[in-house]
């Protein structure tokens, strides 16, 4: 236990020295929080605060995971910080666990802050399952930090890491409902959103805020996020590199796809369920058209 505590202490000091950590954990999310509050006119419709919270929390989790875990790990490898750990009797797993716990400690004050502001300034009632919402957000952090660590593991340079992070970050932001409400999407974009990992984080938060659902009702979303986090951590440990001179093969980048595979499978299942539900809710089209051609009296006699 002492090695983990020591690593957490060191990691916390290193994190607080990086401007990128402060920017992506506090400044960017808070900036979007207040912009969305004004843009969506929350004072005119207090219920919109739930939508704002789902958006900014998702953006914060994505920034913490992809930039906080991904880009920071690459930076530490490029500046030879990880190389110093290599000479100690330590494995990659404790480093990743310490990094994840440290990021949670840094990020949670932001979550508490937006809930406090929403309650006291915008009259949002305290959610009935606030602690369960915090647990769900923590699960989301595990998932996206897992994805971020895989990106860090397969990137051979800072420039390559930035490209991979942006390739993952931009679609998640725009197609998940984290920046634009998903209900305004056309049908094609709503179909695509089923395969975007961030969609499941947005849906879970919205369900727990709007519909006052508990964590158990989100067990499917929790399971898929935990699976992605576990796969990400496993792959990141397998591909972990201590020094920047250790290069990885191009084919190893396909591991990013493997980590996203649970969302692909879950998206296909979700789409099939939606099609089945839509088919059951529609009347029998041929019979409906036939009944339109039959006079009302004849329909009654028949």
CA atoms of 19 and 175, how far apart (whole Å): 28
More confident residue, 71 or 208: 208
Residue 136 has pLDDT above 90, yes or no: yes
* Least-confidence region, from 3-7, 111-115, 204-208, 216-220: 3-7
Average confidence score pLDDT of the chain = 80
pLDDT band at 1 (very low <50, low <70, confident <90, very high): low
Task: Work out the average pLDDT over 203-225.
Answer: 89
Residue 139 has pLDDT above 90, yes or no: yes
Q: What is the pLDDT of residue 3?
A: 66
Looking up tokens 């009944």, which residue turns up?
291
Q: What is the pLDDT of residue 245?
A: 78
Q: What is the pLDDT of residue 46?
A: 65
More confident residue, 5 or 120: 120
CA atoms of 76 and 84, how far apart (whole Å): 10
More confident residue, 177 or 214: 214
The C-alpha torsion from 279 through 284 and 288 to 291, rounded to 10°, is -160
Residue 100 has pLDDT above 70, yes or no: yes
């Amino acid at each position: 236990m002492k090695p983990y505590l020591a690593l957490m202490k060191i990691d916390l000091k290193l994190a607080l020295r990086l401007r990128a950590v402060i920017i992506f954990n506090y400044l960017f999310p808070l900036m979007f929080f207040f912009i969305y509050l004004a843009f969506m006119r929350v004072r005119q419709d207090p219920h919109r605060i739930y939508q704002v919270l789902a958006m900014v929390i998702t953006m914060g989790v994505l920034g913490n995971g992809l930039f906080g875990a991904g880009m920071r790990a690459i930076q530490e490898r490029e500046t030879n910080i990880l190389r110093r750990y290599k000479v100690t009797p330590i494995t990659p797993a404790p480093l990743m666990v310490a990094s994840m716990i440290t990021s949670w400690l840094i990020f949670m004050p932001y979550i508490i802050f937006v809930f406090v502001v929403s309650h006291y300034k915008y009259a949002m009632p305290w959610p009935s399952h606030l602690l369960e919402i915090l647990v769900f957000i923590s699960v989301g952090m595990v998932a996206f930090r897992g994805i971020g660590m895989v990106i860090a593991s397969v990137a051979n340079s800072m420039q390559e890491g930035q490209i991979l992070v942006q390739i993952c970050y931009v679609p998640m932001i725009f197609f998940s409902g984290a920046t634009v409400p998903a209900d305004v999407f056309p049908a094609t974009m709503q179909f695509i959103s089923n395969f975007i990992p961030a969609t499941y984080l947005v849906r879970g938060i919205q369900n727990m805020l709007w519909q006052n659902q508990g964590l158990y009702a989100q067990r499917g979303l929790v399971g898929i996020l935990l699976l992605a986090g576990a796969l990400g951590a496993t792959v990141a440990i397998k591909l972990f590199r201590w020094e920047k001179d250790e290069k990885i093969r191009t084919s190893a980048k396909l591991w990013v796809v493997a980590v996203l595979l649970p969302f692909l499978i879950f998206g296909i299942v979700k789409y099939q369920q939606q099609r089945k539900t839509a088919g059951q809710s529609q009347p029998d089209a041929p019979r409906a058209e036939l009944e339109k051609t039959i006079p009302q009296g004849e329909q009654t006699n028949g």
